[in-house]
Amino acid sequence: LFDAQQVTGGKVLLRGTFTHVNDLPRDGLVRLSSDGTVDTTFVPGVVLGSVNTGRMAPQGDGRILLHTGTSLVRLGVDGALDATFAAVSYPAGDMVLDHAGNVLVSNGAPGGLFGSTYGVRRLGPNGLADTTFAPTTSATVWDLIVHAD
């Protein structure tokens, strides 16, 4: 198990290298109901399998931002890929939502959205990069925290 996040309705989202949960096929991502049963209304539109990198960030509206190991995607409440979000390619680092609904991401290696640098990027709620915010660093930024102020 790599990550666990509480989501709306008292449900829990789990991410790991599992292929089945309670004998149901769930390849690396599952949402459990508050009683621990698999929420069968959530069928992930991505296969994670043995991907052990990346993060997930539940949004207040039930959608989920998920790094698949190579790309950041958004899943709808039912787990389907959200076509209104511009999928972004970058090596996984950290990811956090800010107070305005933007997504801050850092990279684990140069590439994709980051080009040949390390650093932090800000994406709008639609997944498009904010080109006015692009600080670079000399190495990986592993943890991002948004302060209240």
Q: Which helix (H) or strand (E) holds 65?
A: strand 64-67
CB 46 within 8 A of CB 66: yes
This prediction has a pTM of: 0.84
pLDDT tens figures, 86-125: 888 877 778 889 989 899 988 877 777 777 788 888 999 9
d(CA 118, CA 34): 39
Amino acid at position 28, single letter: G
Take residue 18 and report the two structure tokens written for it. Answer: 């599992």
Phi-psi category of residue 148: left, alpha or beta, with phi > 0 → left and psi -120 to 50 → alpha: alpha
- The three-class DSSP label of residue 119 is strand
